Chain A
């Protein structure tokens, strides 16, 4: 109870006389003898006027303190004065804890939701650096379902009477493509292809896997009674480092086995096993699926774009014009047989010569159209990463490294989301803090004002 000091760094020291009187007051309050008899008497008299605590209240409070205010308290009586309802402290404590916990959970959820909303809005995916590392593309054991790991994109075009359809599937992260990768479980490849086709079909009725039969059932029957469909495939395959030559060599065999040929090829091999190769392949349309399957086995399919163009009308038109030209030729030959003047004969022969050229041209057009439908162009790209680069070729086997990598990805993504959310909510938190400070200051002033007479 002793005054430690009467000085303060920010305040001037007390007047010595005042300090001495305060020291005497403290001594008198402690019961010590002081020289100032008047002050000693005043202290004694004022202390004698101290209100006495009622014994009932003393007993009640003693019991409450001993029991931890089980009746809600002081509570009891005070709440009656306030006209309120006494609450058991246990329940109040639990409610307080639940309220605090709820506020904390709500705050974290709010931060997370805002972060997700902002990151989704800006990136349309849970990516932090703009690369292709999506949260959903984890190196989980075994091949991923096509519906999860692949993007299917379909579109239709109609230009110049020809109807086109494309089916595209991409893998941007280098993860195994279960729809076509060789490391997929038996049957998984077909299932994935079926799923892809099903997804494409579900997207729109006009889009379907590249099958000429579907076109025939979907559109009006052509004049020739048979649909003519031109197909093209873009295929991007990633092979293991140092395996580019071997893969490129297999491309020729695969193409020949599919009744086709290599129209163009460019192979570029770099250092440390890296390299790339591009091929333009012509394969028999009837063996397209077989060719794609075997080419996919060369490595990991990272992108596949398959398109079809309906050229039936072009084919029918050329065929009709050829028939007309041949009919004209027959008529010209009949007229020539009946011609008797030299001038007429010369004129007819000239027209027959023109007609022959027309027929030859139309036959050539038909031949080209037949070739376009009988053969399918495959644009194949093979890439091999450097041996120094991290092995992006997932062998489909689960490992501790995969799990750690996935955990880091998730941690990074979640951290980023929380960071963005926290940054977005920071202004609100500052406003709340300012409001809380203002509330505290205002309450203190109101309490001080309560003593104003």
Chain B
């Protein structure tokens, strides 16, 4: 009986659609931009090396890529023995707002949100990043974390509640 050949992973397409999100997610975990650059590159190289081992039955390419990115980030955190901080330097994101002399309502709101995210426990920041930056479904988050979809949904909801509370 002929077995169906597994689909070939379109790595170029995956890179194009996910590179920014991977960077945002990695950056949210490791904190500083230099480390985020290296870990992002490391994650893509790992994924490229392992692209033939991708199994579509075990998840989507995007979830597979973010699992690799998460492991690379956690390895780096372990190595450096430091926890991630979402807001590390002021020069990367929201630069315009940071450099603006006249703080608008939008800027104030951005600061509040940024501070709220930074105040979350690392595990909840991880979930927020997986949901908001990686754009993974609860099932994909569950697969990435090695937990069930329901459990992932519960945790995401808890993290979302914490974030809403911190922003209020």
Contact = CB atoms under 8 A, between A and B. Distances in A.
Contacts of B35: 81
B20 A53 contact: yes
A437 to B, nearest CB: 14
A62 interface: yes
B167 A42 contact: yes
A307 B87 CA distance: 99
B2 to A, nearest CB: 27
A45 B150 contact: no
B23 A53 contact: yes
Chain A interface SS verdict (over half): helix
B39 A78 contact: yes
B78 A14 contact: no
A329 B1 CA distance: 106
B93 interface: yes
Interface string A59-87: 01110111011000111111011000000
B153 to A, nearest CB: 5
A13 B154 CA distance: 10
A46 B117 contact: yes
Contacts of B121: 453
B65 interface: no
Contacts of B24: 50-53
Contacts of A66: 12
A430 B28 CA distance: 40
A130 interface: no
Nearest to A74: B41
B122 A451 contact: yes
Contacts of B167: 42, 45
Given A3-B139, A42-B163, A81-B38, A11 B117 contact: no
B99 to A, nearest CB: 15
A450 B138 contact: no
Contacts of A80: 38
B139 A4 contact: yes
Contacts of A43: 132
Interface stretch (A21-29, A110-118, A247-255, A278-286): A21-29
Contacts of B48: 65, 68-69
A19 B160 CA distance: 13
B136 to A, nearest CB: 8
B75 interface: yes
Interface of A: 1-8, 10-14, 18-19, 21-22, 25-26, 29, 38-39, 42-43, 45-54, 57-58, 60-62, 64-66, 68-69, 73-78, 80-81, 89, 93, 444, 446-453
Sorted nearest first, the 4 A-B pairs with minimum C-beta distance are A74-B41, A74-B45, A78-B38, A11-B150
Given A11-B148, A48-B110, A75-B45, 13 more contacts: A3-B139, A3-B153, A4-B137, A6-B138, A14-B150, A18-B157, A21-B160, A43-B132, A54-B37, A61-B41, A75-B42, A81-B34, A451-B77
26 contacts: A4-B139, A4-B149, A6-B138, A8-B149, A18-B157, A25-B131, A46-B117, A46-B132, A48-B110, A50-B24, A50-B93, A51-B27, A54-B37, A57-B40, A61-B15, A64-B41, A66-B12, A73-B45, A75-B45, A77-B37, A78-B42, A89-B49, A447-B75, A450-B83, A453-B121, A453-B122
